[in-house]
Amino acid sequence: MQIREHAEATPDKPAVILHPEPAVVVTYRELEERANQLAHHFRQAGLVEGDTVAILMENNEHVHAAMWAARRSGLYYAVINTHLTPAEAAYIVDNSGAKAIIGSRAMRGVCEQLAEHLPNGLPELRLMADDDLDGWQRYPECVAQHPVTPIPDELEGDLLQYSSGTTGRPKGIRRKLPHVPPAEAPSALTVLLGAVQIDSNSVYLSPAPLYHTAPCMWTMAAQSMGVTTVIMRKFDPEEALRAIEKYRVTSGQFVPAMFVRMLKLPEEIRSKYDLSSLKRVVHAAAPCPIDIKKQMIDWWGPVVDEYYSSSEGAGITFITAEEWLKHPGSVGKPLIGVAHILDENGDELPTGQAGQIYFDMGGLMEFEYHKDPQKTAESRSKQGWVTVGDVGYLDEEGYLFLTDRKHHMIISGGVNIYPQEAENMLITHPKVLDAAVFGVPDEEMGQRVKGVVQLVDPADETPEFAEELLQWLRDRLAHYKCPKSISFERQLPRTETGKMMKQELIKKYS
């Protein structure tokens, strides 16, 4: 289904609610009309199927209209990370070949500096939401003269997603367009939303930035089903609980770092809010420590489901809370694609042995890395299966378990060490809010294991507690897996979808 059907059937139903206050509500009628007007504007400017629109906006009332307008015009839409510098944002505008850009008042400072970093200049069509900027059209005023009805040549577009760039330049992930009207386009997310029991009566909470793949795609998929999507301007652990109570949220998607922050709230705050409306929530994006997941299920009940996928859409697995309690640590069985575990030679490994995870997608959701044929080729096996570099194994029942990312592996004295195990253990310590374990250069061993933690109370940042924490960890893990030393940071560098930016830490501590 498309939002148009809901705009006709339930025009006054909220499609988007921005939280927290001042709350802004966009109804289905308003979302449909705004998307149509902007689509007309794109066509008037000469944009055609396969062109790209760059969107540089925070979580606001306009971003979904911009995405829907691009999507129904057969365009790619690149939603840019709002934390990037002007030079970094300009790289994506240039690399994507954007023919149009739409910014916002909050991002005006970045937009003003884009031109000096673009070798071919700014895109010809430039829109600025709720503000004036020389050479930019003020939106939504600039589309007011356009019809609120659909453009006559609607075609399905797609997200042109750029990775977080935690290991270098962000890479564009581009899928082939289907060349069909939106009503005829397939949606791989329909199966996943059905698995977590989302329907037109649901109220879906999205606490993460919409420039990330999952929040972007899930909110649009939910809207296509007539769901009310509650969009947090910025994640705050208590505000998330308040939103659940206020809007009677039934569904939502989180990352483990959000679970940790909510669990570390004082008990009087955690117990203050009525969360009984929750039916199913889901988490993804980063590995969740087993103990953290158990605590969430103890608190919210057996409604905390999990899926594993990637920005590339290279396979999707899913596991319910009930299944997970029987298979703790698993990310589930394949929901889309067939999973295979391969060794370094590209040969399939037997059950229980860890290797690189590949999926046979049968041509579904085929992707390429934009303007990077070498990286695209490296993502394929000799069998034609696809990978994003994750490492894991399948058990005898076909449940997938993640070990770590291949590029996170530490080689110390010839021994392969995956840091996720130590990180998962450290995060369960009551005084630890976040943790990162990684390899740093060592003359004798090649690399040594280093740990950096963020504490709940900065007053605990003492050499004595660092030694206490090391001993606590050694009592629970093999010593070779444990850091040789632990340092403290007031804030660890994570993206807002929970991915640790380890390169920053490696550079600092090497």
Q: Name the strand (E) or helix (H) holding 230.
A: strand 228-232
Mean pLDDT of the chain: 93
Q: How far apart are CA 231 and CA 210, in angstroms?
A: 9
Render 384-452 in DSSP notation, one character per residue.
Answer: S-B--SEEEEE-TTS-EEEEEEGGG-EEETTEEE-THHHHHHHTTSTTEEEEEEEEEEETTTEEEEEEE
CA distances, 236 to each of 251, 260, 268, 340 (Å): 17, 12, 16, 38
Can you give the residue ranges of every domain in the chain?
3-186, 409-509
* Ranges of H-type helices in 12-149: 28-44, 63-71, 86-96, 108-113
Angle (CA) 485 290 394, round 5°: 105
- In this prediction, residue 166 carries a pLDDT of 46
Domains 3-186 and 409-509 equal at CATH topology level: no
Tokens standing for residue 223: 């809207």
Pairing of the two strands 251-254 and 228-232: unpaired
pLDDT digits (tens, 9 = 90+) for 150-186: 999 999 999 999 876 544 578 899 999 999 999 999 8
Contacts of 445 (CB under 8 A, 6+ apart): 412, 413
Q: First and final CA of the chain: distance in angstroms?
A: 52
Which of the four pLDDT bands, split at 50, 70 and 90, describes residue 1? low
Confidence (pTM): 0.85
CA distances, 219 to each of 10, 16, 208 (Å): 18, 9, 11
pLDDT digits (tens, 9 = 90+) for 244-254: 999 999 999 99
Q: Does the domain formed by 409-509 have CATH 3.30.300.30?
A: yes
pLDDT score of 363 more than 90: no
Q: How far apart are CA 216 and CA 179, in angstroms?
A: 22
- In this prediction, residue 137 carries a pLDDT of 98
Collapsed DSSP state (helix, strand, coil) of residue 89 = helix
Give the homologous superfamily in CATH for domain 3-186: ANL, N-terminal domain (3.40.50.12780)
pLDDT digits (tens, 9 = 90+) for 214-262: 999 999 999 999 999 999 999 999 999 999 999 999 999 998 889 989 9
Tokens standing for residue 469: 């924490």
pLDDT digits (tens, 9 = 90+) for 260-278: 899 999 999 999 999 999 9
Cβ proximity of 483 and 453 under 8 Å: no
pLDDT digits (tens, 9 = 90+) for 87-144: 889 999 999 999 999 999 999 999 999 999 999 999 999 999 999 999 999 999 999 9
Cβ proximity of 80 and 53 under 8 Å: no
Instruction: Give the CA count within 13 Å in the CB-facing half-sphere of 326.
Output: 8
* Arithmetic mean of pLDDT, 332-345: 94
Q: How far apart are CA 296 and CA 303, in angstroms?
A: 9
